[in-house]
Copies of this chain bind each other. A is one copy, B any other.
Amino acid sequence: MTVYANSPDGPVKWERFLAQRTQRMQSSAIRELLKITQQPDVISFAGGLPAPELFPVREIEEACNYLLRQEAKIALQYSTTEGYRPLREYLADSMSKYGIHHGPDNILITTGSQQALDLIGKIFIDPGTYILTGRPTYLGAIQAWRAYEAEFITVPLDDDGMQTDLIEEAIRSHTPRFIYILPNFHNPAGTTVTEERRHRLVEIARKYDLIIIEDDPYGALRYDGEDIIPIATLAPERTLYLGTFSKTLAPGLRIGWVVAPAEIITRLVQAKQGADLHSSTFDQMIANDIAQRGILKMHVRKIRQTYHARRDTMLDALAEFWPEGSTWTQPQGGLFLWARVPATINTLDLFYKAVEQKVAYVPGVHFFPHADGGHNAMRLNFSNAQPEFIVEGIRRLGLVMKQELAAH
């Protein structure tokens, strides 16, 4: 730390200046873990990174050149908080194919999906506000909402996603303000909520007058089976739907979006004005150009093929190399699967032994808002590593586990 030679009073005692909410903020465990696992010789299943060798680099270069030659005065200038209108029109149109019938005025472009979570927290969460979520659940949502001093009610997941039949029981003591759900290829669980459960969820939300936050970063990345109707289609009056280009195009551009009733878009726009005025005009226009030229569609087809194969490679390797008593989810899409290890192994302890063997994952406990589960589980990413590394990494993890079992 810098030494402040100029200060006659010595260092400032910062603690006394911090807001109450700041005491509750934590660094994301995953982002701290990633620092450990970013050594180039570690096979990392820890991140949620797209495969960088698949980025449509040439097409993005074409988009940049076109935009800077034809529309530079717009692309580099301040723009509206709501987001670049042609992109919102594209999104409205493309989502209508999934049955989400909202116009461009029902869409707000955000600085990645993470910002949508933050803005939702800002407009809906008072200190002590309850939120219902699955357990496990997405770490970034916990982090965003803890900063607004939210409390969590959790409902367990099974292979068909959130166990909606347990919601009414769970909300008996505290009424949540909203239900947070990742319906497709859940992060971290890899599970998909069945159509029946989606209907059930909507029934409950209507009965108790609850908002639904439908977070769908991976919906376009389905490898088996048929698309299931979005919750936003079943209950458009009370659902905020979150989408992103981070998994389908490039996360470095930080472009996501929220679809919501107009009244809520107005509130989110007000919150976003104070938060960052607007998302990068240039990046929005790049995403728009890639999408409008039909490149995005072709690109999604390509990454779907690659990730499909990588998922299969990982499933095969798990079956081959992992000890008896291990189980894992069979994700129909997305980037992650959730693996349970034999009960005597704690995945938090195992992590350091795994990193010694140059392989990494995220320990399951980090995905539980109350740290009340996941001690024998881990999240494994299958999109980022090449197939030979997937096999080798899963083999190493199996070996570390077998050694651990033998030591008991």
Q: Within 8 Å CB of A49, what residues of B? A: 77-78
- Which of B146, B269, B278 is close to A27, meaning CB atoms less than 8 Å apart? B269
Q: State in angstroms the CA–CA spacing of A237 and B6 once bound together.
A: 8
B276 touches A143 (CB 8 A): no
Q: State in angstroms the CA–CA spacing of A237 and B250 once bound together.
A: 39
A65 touches B55 (CB 8 A): no
- A28-67: CB near B (< 8 Å → 1, else 0) gives 1001000000000000000111101101011011001100
Does residue A166 face the partner (Cβ distance < 8 Å to B)?
A: no
Q: Within 8 Å CB of A102, what residues of B? A: 2
Q: Within 8 Å CB of A280, what residues of B? A: 111, 252-254, 280, 283
CB of A83 to closest CB in B, whole Å: 13
A18 touches B267 (CB 8 A): yes
Q: State in angstroms the CA–CA spacing of A55 and B69 once bound together.
A: 12
Does residue A330 face the partner (Cβ distance < 8 Å to B)?
A: no
Does residue A236 face the partner (Cβ distance < 8 Å to B)?
A: yes
Size range of the chain A interface in the assembly: 35 or more
Does residue A383 face the partner (Cβ distance < 8 Å to B)?
A: no
Q: State in angstroms the CA–CA spacing of A234 and B276 once bound together.
A: 29
Partner-binding segment picked from A123-131, A154-162, A189-197, A367-375: A123-131
A73 touches B101 (CB 8 A): no
- A121-151: CB near B (< 8 Å → 1, else 0) gives 1111110010000000000100110111000
CB of A129 to closest CB in B, whole Å: 7
Does residue A388 face the partner (Cβ distance < 8 Å to B)?
A: no
Does residue A114 face the partner (Cβ distance < 8 Å to B)?
A: yes
The number of times this chain is found in the oligomer is 2
* 12 intermolecular pairs with C-beta atoms under 8 Å apart: A8-B206, A11-B237, A12-B211, A14-B267, A18-B267, A21-B126, A27-B270, A52-B73, A77-B252, A115-B275, A118-B276, A140-B273
Does residue A319 face the partner (Cβ distance < 8 Å to B)?
A: no
Which 10 pairs of residues, A with B, have the shortest CB-CB distance?
Answer: A252-B281, A4-B237, A76-B250, A52-B73, A64-B64, A7-B237, A144-B274, A76-B252, A111-B276, A57-B72
A122 touches B22 (CB 8 A): yes
- Which of B115, B146, B263 is close to A276, meaning CB atoms less than 8 Å apart? B115
Does residue A79 face the partner (Cβ distance < 8 Å to B)?
A: yes
- Which of B2, B57, B111, B126 is close to A261, meaning CB atoms less than 8 Å apart? B2
Q: State in angstroms the CA–CA spacing of A279 and B255 once bound together.
A: 10
Known: A52-B76, A57-B72. A9 touches B206 (CB 8 A): yes
Q: State in angstroms the CA–CA spacing of A6 and B101 once bound together.
A: 11
Q: State in angstroms the CA–CA spacing of A14 and B252 once bound together.
A: 34
A55 touches B28 (CB 8 A): no
Does residue A407 face the partner (Cβ distance < 8 Å to B)?
A: no
Q: Within 8 Å CB of A117, what residues of B? A: 274
Does residue A300 face the partner (Cβ distance < 8 Å to B)?
A: no
- List the interface of chain A (C-beta within 8 A of B): 1-2, 4, 6-12, 14, 17-22, 25-28, 31, 47-50, 52-53, 55, 57-58, 60-61, 64-65, 68-69, 72-81, 101-103, 106, 110-112, 114-115, 117-118, 121-126, 129, 140, 143-144, 146-148, 177-178, 206, 209, 211, 233-238, 246, 250-254, 261-264, 267, 269-271, 273-283
A282 touches B253 (CB 8 A): yes
Q: State in angstroms the CA–CA spacing of A61 and B283 once bound together.
A: 14
Q: Within 8 Å CB of A77, what residues of B? A: 49-50, 52, 55, 250-252
A254 touches B277 (CB 8 A): yes
A61 touches B60 (CB 8 A): no
Q: State in angstroms the CA–CA spacing of A1 and B178 once bound together.
A: 22
Q: State in angstroms the CA–CA spacing of A235 and B112 once bound together.
A: 36
